[in-house]
Structure formats: C-alpha cells, structure tokens
Structure 1
Amino acid sequence: MSEKVLIEVNNLKKYFKTSKGMLHAVDGINFRVKKGTTLGVVGESGCGKSTLGRTLLHLHEATDGQIIYDGQDITKYNPDKLKEIRKKMQMIFQDPSASLDPRMSVRDLIGEPLKVYKVCRTKEEYNEKVLEIMDTVGLSKRYADSYSHELDGGRRQRIGIGRALAMDPEFIVCDEPVSALDVSIQAQVLNLLMDLQEEKELTYIFITHDLSVVKHISHEIAVMYLGQCVEYAVTKDLFGTPLHPYTKGLLDAVPVPKLTAKKLQTEVMRGELTSPIEPKAGCRFAARCPKARECCTGKDIPLREIEPGHFVACTLYE
C-alpha cells in the first residue's frame, strides 16, 4: 500500500440555492486518501454523500474549499483543464439502468470515452480495446453488440465499471454501485472492484449506506450527517470502538436478538432531523442524540483526533 496521498479535500463546501435559503449539502469536509486505498463514505440518505462525490469530479462546482489531486489544486480548473484531469478521475453511478443510454450498444457504451479522447487511431484498435475492457470486468464478448436493457443488473453494472476503466484512471468515485443489485451479485461486483484495485492500484471513494458493504471494502471510513463529517477512522477502529453517538446509532440500527423476546427487535434513532437549510451552529445530530448537552449547540464542533487516526466531532470528547 502506497503512502502517497492521491486526493486531499480541505474545508469543501457545496451549497444549493433554494426558495427557503441556502441548502448546506456539503459543509466543511476534510479528508485525505492514499493511493491504492479505499475511503468509505457512509450515512443516511440525504446526508450529502453523493453530492460530495459529484463535487470532487466537478459534476457540481464547489462553493468553497480545496480539492487537491496528485498535488494539484483542481478546485477552479476551467473546462479544458478538467477534460484532461478527468482521464484520471472517473465515476461509477448507482443505478446502471439510469446511467446507461439504452440506444447504445455495450461496445459503444464502454468505448465512448475512447472516442471522446480520440485514443484509438483505427476501428480495429478501438474494437480490440473495448473487448479487452470487457474481459477485464468479466463481460463475455458475445454481449458487445447487445443493449444494456437486454442484460441483468449485474452485467449492466459491469458495463458501468468498464466505462469508468476505459481511460485507465487512478481515482474512481463509486456512488452506491451495488445498492441496486441482489446480494449474490453484490458480492461479485465488490470482489471485481477489489481485484481491480489490487491489479491497477486504483484509489476509491466508496459511497454507501450499507455498513456491511463498507466494512468489507474500505480501509478508512468517513461518517457523514447532514453535510458534515462526524467521525473518521480506520475501518477496524470505527467498527470496534465507534465514538460518535450517531455512528453508534447506525451500528445499532440492525435487528438485535433479545434473549427474553421471541422476535427480533430493532434499535431506532428517534427525534427530528435538523434542517440543512441555513443550519445554526452546533451539532446537527443534537436533536436526535440521547447524550446531547447544552454545549452541543451555539458553536461549531470540529473534528478532533481522539486516538491516533481516529477523529470525532462531538462535545463528549472535548
């Protein structure tokens, strides 16, 4: 595993203007990802995970902060510079049915980046490269002239992965790439992603709400809540000793067998969500936190390193 930091994010913000005010979708995120590793990003739906991933790739323009890729600050890159950097930064989308053009064949879907960047000089070279990518992601060559809607979900997601690999990238944002798949196909796609990472030294940001998936694939995990990172740690430390009450709530929100009950019971987080529109200073989880105190409101609560490599934003550790 390399010690080189491939991507670094400093105080990254992305706000959206609404009729009720500014929605703070991503609000002051900081992290580093080493080359060849995976950062898992977890949290409930609506916490800003996908917006974070899209902002990193400039599918959304950042409101503030820095995105440093391979030592270059790419935050304010113009379209021409972005076109070049996107050869090395790609994305696998959540729903292959929505992200793949049903009018294009598998060959054209995977080969589209090759045409955009004019990589291949001849049609024969183009076809050879596409078939090579299909073999890499485990797609039979007989599907080259098929259409995505003719294939099952697992094969469609392999098309999406193949398209992301076409330009031999270094960094890929995986935006819930297995959430639309059944469990057996999930395992196949996850194993494929990990094999590709080992073979090509790929760096991933893996966005998901599934804790069992992120535990399986990630080296480090960032827990997001309403646009902010509330805990950041090495995977084994986060699952072994979660520190933030929200992280503990996520890990507890699974069926837990009770010795005195005949049925499984579920631990549920209660309380109302704080609005992400013009939020007040303080812990945004305080309204749902069983350990909330008066000091949790009225001031910003930054991430603090409580143990080596284990950061948490919570007044319990001040």
Structure 2
Amino acid sequence: MKETLLEVKNLKKHFQTNKGLLHAVDGVNFEIKKGETLGIVGESGCGKSTTGRVVLRLLEATEGEILFEGTDIRQFNNKQLRDVRKEMQIVFQDPFASLNPRLSLSEIIGEPFEIFNMYKPKEREEKVIELMELVGLSQRLINAYPHELDGGRRQRVGIARALALNPKFIVCDEPVSALDVSIQAQILNLMQDLQERLGLTYMFISHDLSVVKHISNRIAVMYLGKVVEITTSSEVFKNPLHPYTKALLSAIPIPKIGQKRERIILKGDVPSPINPPKGCRFAGRCPYVMDKCRQQDPELIDLGSDHSVACHLVNK
C-alpha cells in the first residue's frame, strides 16, 4: 500500500464579488498517493485550476486542510512555506505566458537556483544543461529566448524549471491543451517517463478525459466547485455512475469511421457559482433529477473498490 503524499479535506476557496460570494472550490476532498497521478476533469469554470493553485498556496484557501506528507501547510509561516515550495511545483497551461520573454532558457531554468541561492555559477550552468537533456532540449538552445521556440519546446522549458529543485509533487495545469495533438503525445510521454525515473507525483488538471485517461491512475470529476465522482481511471470509463460523468464520456469522439457513441445532451445552463442554488449543483441539468436533489446537497460517499460518488440516485 502506497503512502499518501497529499490529502485535502473540506477545501474551499471563495471570492468576494460585487454580486455576492463566488464559490470557486466548495468542500473538496481527495488524496494522492506517492508516485501516482490524480487526474482532475470537468468543464471550464468548475474549479479545477483554482483547486491546483490553492493546494500549492498560490491562492490562500478560505477553509479546509492541505496535508502534505501529513502536515497541514496552511499553518506554515513564510519560512516553512518557502522550504516546502521546493517539494511542490507547477507546470502552467500556456508555456508562452508562463515564461519571461526577457530571459534566456539558461536564465529561466536556472532561476530557481538563484532564488534559493543554490550552487555556484559554473555548477548552475551544468545543472541547467542536465535539466535540458532530461526534458529533451538540445544544449544549443541554452541561450535562446522563448519566442524563438515552438510550443512543445516552450513547455519542455516549463517542465525543466519545475524539476530544478527536485520536487516530489507537481501540479500540471492543463499542460498540453495549448499544443498540437502530435506534440501533446510527446509531452505526455515525457511526463510519464519523468514520473517513472524520478518518482514524481502528479495532479493532472484537464478538460479532456481521453488525455487524462492516458496519464492518470485515478480520476476526480468536478462540477461547479465540487468533486462529484472519484475512482480509478479504468473504472471511470467502464462504470461511470454520476450522470455528469456519463455526459462527459459521451462527448468523447470515437476515432473509427461509422462507429458512433450515444450522446447525452445536457439541457439547461450551468448555475452561477455566485451564491449557488440549494441542493445538488447539477440538478438543473440532470435528466434523472428528483425532488430530493433540489433540496439536499449529496455527499461524496465511498461505495468501495476505490469508487466514490456524490449523487442521490446512486446513494439511496
């Protein structure tokens, strides 16, 4: 049995707006074992990226616990938080926006060493070259700038920077969504190879279930700030239980001529995350809605076999 590296309990992140309180993340619970990948999927605005940023304390949580190796990092002071940042890193969605255009690759990848005052100049250059080789970047690019690279190479730079401090845990915030399909496959294969070689643990955020299936051990499905289903990658595709998960799966194209999947077309609009409605967040779009769904918010119940669902239809 693998040890738990990260566990979040009742994690909430609310933003104050002119129209009321925006419930971006609203009571999320999950854990990630050492060496595994937890995929987090859902449509735009469901709170995936906010969850990743709150876990790393790039955004401060409104409520809840973030247990990293058994210790709640929400209680850390600035010095403790600075130390734990070496263990927890992030790869951003847009490799062009996340890289400083005024810095060369050598400066970008070596910046963590400068921030933490690690190594002498000569050693830093050697470490940068090692990292470039590790992620498949040619040494001849060491003095290049981000605008001189294509999207795939830019994302490799972002990955190299994230690996500079030998982290244990990396949040991958839609790291391939801005790339061409062929480049996506290269980056995904690289990340899997790095995970195996370095013993990394990933939280992989994406709106694309087929991408998440390729890289994840377990998948958490989010809807409007809540996790509605969480189970193994294979189980999500074989036996989806939440109506929203079924609808997401039905939208995945089948790459075979003449073969079609029955589409589940959801009617109605996504409720506003500002002062969300009482009861289940999905009730207004669910084809199986009951009176109870509009009154009572379903809890995420463990059904056994590493499968948890938040749905009154399932948890009767």
Cα distance per residue 1:141-169 (max 9 Å; x no partner): 00000001100000000000000000000
1:275 maps to a residue whose letter is: S
1:315 maps to a residue whose letter is: H
Q: Percent identity?
A: 57
Q: Which sits farther off after the overlay, 274-283 or 21-30?
A: 274-283
Q: Distance in 2 between matches of 1:255 and 1:240?
A: 16
Cα distance per residue 1:71-122 (max 9 Å; x no partner): 11101322221110000000000001100000000000001001000111x2
Alpha-carbon contact 1:255-1:265 (below 8 Å) kept: no
Matched, 1:62 2:61: yes
Superposition deviation, residue 267 in structure 1: 4.2
Matched, 1:309 2:306: yes
Distance 1:131 1:237, change over 3 A: same
Q: Distance in 1 between matches of 2:48 and 2:264?
A: 24
User: What is aligned with 2:221?
Assistant: 223
Matched ranges for 1:227-242 at <5 A:
227-242=225-240
User: What is aligned with 2:118?
Assistant: 119
TM-score between both structures, scaled by the size of structure 1: 0.95
Matched ranges for 1:1-318 at <5 A:
3-120=2-119, 122-255=120-253, 267-317=264-314, 318=316
Q: Distance in 1 between matches of 2:2 and 2:252?
A: 35
Alpha-carbon contact 1:107-1:144 (below 8 Å) kept: yes
What is the aligned residue count? Answer: 315
Cα distance per residue 1:209-234 (max 9 Å; x no partner): 01111000000000000000000001
Superposition deviation, residue 268 in structure 1: 2.6
Runs of 4 or more consecutive aligned structure 1 residues displaced over 3 Å after TM superposition? 254-259, 261-267
Secondary structure of the corresponding residue to residue 97 of structure 2: helix
Unaligned runs of at least 5 residues, structure 2: none
Q: Distance in 1 between matches of 2:223 and 2:50?
A: 13
Superposition deviation, residue 300 in structure 1: 2.1
Superposition deviation, residue 206 in structure 1: 0.0
Secondary structure of the corresponding residue to residue 269 of structure 2: coil
Q: Which sits farther off after the overlay, 4-13 or 75-84?
A: 75-84
Distance 1:75 1:62, change over 3 A: same
TM-score between both structures, scaled by the size of structure 2: 0.96
Superposition deviation, residue 263 in structure 1: 9.7
Q: Distance in 2 between matches of 1:33 and 1:145?
A: 37
Cα distance per residue 1:26-68 (max 9 Å; x no partner): 0000011000000000000000000000001111000000000
Alpha-carbon contact 1:257-1:265 (below 8 Å) kept: no
Superposition deviation, residue 123 in structure 1: 1.2
Q: Distance in 2 between matches of 1:278 and 1:207?
A: 25
Q: Distance in 1 between matches of 2:134 and 2:253?
A: 38
Unaligned runs of at least 5 residues, structure 1: none
